[in-house]
Amino acid sequence: MSTVSLRGAAQVLLPPEDGLPYLRRPGELRLEPGSVTVSGGVIAALDDDPAADVVIDVAGGAIVPGFVDCHTHLPFAGWRAEEYEQKVTGVPYEDIARRGGGIAASARALAETSDEAVLAQARAIRAEMLAHGTTTFEAKTGYGLSVEGELRLVRLARELGPAAVTGLFAHAVPPGYRAAGWMDEVDRLAAQADVDALDIYVESVAFRNEDLDRLGAIARREGVPLRAHVEQFNANRSVPVALAAGARSVDHLACLHPDDLAPLAAAECAAVLLPGAEFLGAEETAPGRALVDAGAICVLATDCNPGTSPVISLPLVIGLAVRRYGWSAREALAACTLNAAWVLGMSDRIGSIELGKRADLVVLDTPVEHLPYRFGRNPVRAVIAGDVVWQWP
Ligand SMILES: [Zn+2]
């Protein structure tokens, strides 16, 4: 591994102090001019090394931690662009579903696609994510919709090589099952599959709070974190159930009930907000400002999936979050670096610029405030993951 000197940045994004697992006051992140030296794959100095093998001139730009995308639905097969056009031109979701759309369409595509083709698509997406600064990502199962299909997805997800594989075995109730009957299969899948976390989609069209409670017991038995897709389209009051079950994160929250905000903010449970899904689905807007003000562990992710959020770019997600939640650039950056790393149980190794941490770094060609402001532009000029792994061509 070479020694890399990132030299002369206008801003280096630094935590208020070393060793914090997450930030409840993300505005306390510091932005200071400086340089960073990478050696042996770790952050070796917050300074320039004149003898470095590789020098990247960051003049006028910023050095920030590599982005952590802790909520994606990779791997999946194909896209659903025709469905998106139907949706925005006013075709009701029930009609789209009746024509075979929705999660069922992705499940069908997956079943009809070879392992090699599924992995090739996922790796191409993964390369695009890297070029937008994502150095760590999570993958979920969920489009298998059968015991064999889900076990296949666990295997494919492992092969893709994310930092964490989440078993979203309770994504949609497969044909021929009722929710409770499928939860028996989920119980067996969780006991047998090699996953790093368990996840469930709680919504009127999917699973119920009692299934969430049951998955919490399964996750405790298996010794893995519980995560949950909740309050996306309706206030189902799933947050208290998730908190009682000890969830690591509750994701979506566009319809978070006001009474559940303070308990969530006080809990050691992340609020994972997905503004790409909110925007493209014309959903409600999660109370991002109120969550930060209340001290919640706020997180941003792409929710990359072929249905509701075909989004790979965390810079774009930061732009949406800043505008729609009323966040500062610093608050948005904390949400997709250190706080997202905590969701994956990795914030002791990645997520912030600290001596000895893994050298996952992104070089921006502008100060961080330009990132949300010049909306939709990719400001990433170099990505370091131990070594330089990507540079603007
Ligand atoms: Zn999701």
How many residues in the chain? 393
Ligand 1 center to residue 70 CA distance, Å?
A: 10
The tens digit of pLDDT for each residue in 367-378 reads: 999 999 999 999
Residue 100 has pLDDT above 90, yes or no: no
Ligand 1 center to residue 229 CA distance, Å?
A: 6
**With left for phi above 0 and alpha for psi between -120 and 50, is residue 217 left, alpha or beta?**
alpha
Largest pairwise CA distance in the chain: 66
CA dihedral 346, 215, 268, 289 (to 10 degrees): 100
The tens digit of pLDDT for each residue in 36-63 reads: 999 999 999 999 999 999 999 999 999 9
Ligand 1 center to residue 76 CA distance, Å?
A: 12
Ligand 1 center to residue 303 CA distance, Å?
A: 5
pLDDT, position 99: 86
Tracing tokens 């947050």 back to the chain, one arrives at: 239
Ligand 1 center to residue 57 CA distance, Å?
A: 37
What integer is the mean pLDDT of 81-103? 89
Ligand 1 center to residue 3 CA distance, Å?
A: 38
pLDDT, position 94: 78
Ligand 1 center to residue 29 CA distance, Å?
A: 28
Alpha helices by DSSP H, listed for the chain, are 81-88, 93-98, 103-112, 115-131, 147-160, 179-192, 209-222, 239-244, 261-266, 275-280, 288-293, 314-321, 329-335, 338-343, 370-373
pLDDT, position 98: 82
**With left for phi above 0 and alpha for psi between -120 and 50, is residue 282 left, alpha or beta?**
left
pTM for this model (two decimals): 0.98
Q: What span, in angstroms and rounded, lies between the C-alpha atoms of 173 and 290?
A: 33
Ligand 1 center to residue 304 CA distance, Å?
A: 7
The tens digit of pLDDT for each residue in 122-161 reads: 999 999 999 999 999 999 999 999 999 999 999 999 999 9
Q: Do 352 and 338 form a contact (C-beta atoms < 8 A)?
A: yes
Ligand 1 center to residue 73 CA distance, Å?
A: 6
Ligand 1 center to residue 39 CA distance, Å?
A: 36
Residue 184 has pLDDT above 90, yes or no: yes
Q: What span, in angstroms and rounded, lies between the C-alpha atoms of 35 and 5?
A: 7
Ligand 1 center to residue 71 CA distance, Å?
A: 6
The tens digit of pLDDT for each residue in 258-304 reads: 999 999 999 999 999 999 999 999 999 999 999 999 999 999 999 99
In three-state secondary structure terms, 372 is helix
> What mean pLDDT, rounded, does the chain reach?
97
pLDDT, position 205: 86
Ligand 1 center to residue 176 CA distance, Å?
A: 24
Ligand 1 center to residue 232 CA distance, Å?
A: 10
Ligand 1 center to residue 302 CA distance, Å?
A: 9
Ligand 1 center to residue 390 CA distance, Å?
A: 27
